[in-house]
Structure 1
Amino acid sequence: MGLAKEHKTEIITKFGDSATDTGKAEVQVALFSRRIADLTGHLQQHPKDKHSRRGLLMLVGKRKRVLNYLKKVDIERYRKVLADLDLRK
């Protein structure tokens, strides 16, 4: 269950430098956050779906690792991403 192409390109252009800039940490965090939100909605409707729950937990871990990297490298970009995505940390 991935993101629709329109949503993905919208996120990439908003957080990246160009339309093909998918490697930037801010873009990765934004894409992970969108997928996490989608999976959370899915799990509210299907609470016994353990495989999707595992995928959700893995995505949360990936996002956390990328955020820790961003915090270590550039604290200002880290704070901006948290503010833009309304993440608590």
Structure 2
Amino acid sequence: MIASVDERAERRYKENIEKGIPANLETLKKEIAERDYKDSHRKVSPLKPAEDAITFDTTGVSIDGVVEFIQKKAKKIIDKG
């Protein structure tokens, strides 16, 4: 699963606020973008999807929407079996 930097920062921001942890949305965006870059550009084991990975962009998708996507994909794979 993937999501935009803005989406992930917003989720983290809301999570922190709900837990009473001070948060700054712009700082979170910057930190997430920097981490993404470092993870995907490191020399040893750069973070990248496997060749046979199923990706799903969860930007703007509800938890129910994500669950539905996973269930449909799992059923399709199981039915092929």
TM-score for both structures, normalised by structure 2 = 0.32
**Larger helix percent:** 1
RCO greater where, 1 or 2, for CA within 8 Å and sep 6 or more? 2
Larger Rg: 2
